[in-house]
Amino acid sequence: GSIDNLEDRLKKEAEFFVRSRDKYRKKKKDFSALVSLEIIPPGYKTKNKDGTGGLYYADYHPHYHILCLKEFAEFLVSEWLKEFNTASAINQKIISVRDRAMNKNESLTISLRNTIKEVVKYSLKVCLPKIKSTGYSCFNVEGIDKLVTMLKGKKRFNYGGL
């Protein structure tokens, strides 16, 4: 995958969101949403909570964080799976603020605040080398430079219906 492929993909995905919003709006439904794009660059590594394993991203990994009503979220997932035939249903997560509050033993207000933070946090995920001997580096300078250059002047956060 290249930065050019990523740029083409993001353009198609942006067009998808406009079409889906317009389709849902015609049904006179509430399409209020906060949408943010997050991109993990090639070379990024994660660790499991116990410090083992994790994921390694060999290519750019764009994904979206969306805060909206459950009905609109379900509509978006359904449309996404129809539009992008390589997408997997298991990777399309809908998490209710109420469920998050219960799972994390938080009030609804705290859970909503933390959900908003997750949606609007940042567009680009990087990490620096760990000082520990078991640490790792996932700071891909070339990948990040290409990504920042490609994203210059492009929307990474959007809202609608608010």
Coil, helix or strand at residue 23 = helix
Retrieve residue 92's tokens. Answer: 């399309």
Listed ranges 37-41, 75-79, 110-114, 137-141; the one with the highest mean pLDDT: 75-79
Beta strands 33-40 and 157-160 are antiparallel
* Residue written as token pair 């946090």: 121
Residues 111-131 pLDDT 10s? 888 888 777 765 555 544 444
Coil, helix or strand at residue 154 = coil
Overall pTM surpassing 0.85 (yes/no): no
Partners of 36 in beta bridges: 65, 157
